[in-house]
Amino acid sequence: MLTVRADQMRPLAAPLEAQLLEDLSAMVRAAFPAAGAQGEEALRGGVISAIRHADAWGMTTEQETAFAVWLVHRLGPGLQSEDYDDLRELLGATDLSGPEKVHLATRLLAARGID
């Protein structure tokens, strides 16, 4: 039986993570020109921060992570306001899967006229 240690997987994951970061940075640059205008380092820092939110919310697929990155950039600091307590509670729920969170959050945002 072949066993692979976690430290052996890291070199394999690094190129994929770099590509995901590049793809998500391009998405943010295209969707939110003001984020791109702040410079590449700030843009990447914002994307990395949003990826950490996705991880904390249990969103693990590329699609779920992209949604979280879009959401963090779309709502900006407003995401931390009491106006979005219900959204943050939904995203932090441990009894919902990533796809369920994306679906319910999308419906919640649409009901508020946010697309």
Q: pLDDT tens, 34-89?
A: 988 889 999 999 999 999 999 999 998 999 999 999 999 999 999 999 999 999 99
Q: What was the pLDDT predicted at 38? A: 87
Residue with tokens 């950039």: 73
Confidence of residue 18 (pLDDT cuts 50, 70, 90): confident
* Cβ atoms within 10 Å, residue 100: 12
Q: What was the pLDDT predicted at 111? A: 95
Question: Is the pLDDT confidence value at 12 over 50?
Answer: no
Q: pLDDT tens, 82-115?
A: 999 999 999 999 999 999 999 999 999 999 999 8
Identify whether the C-beta of residue 73 lies closer than 8 Å to the C-beta of residue 50: yes
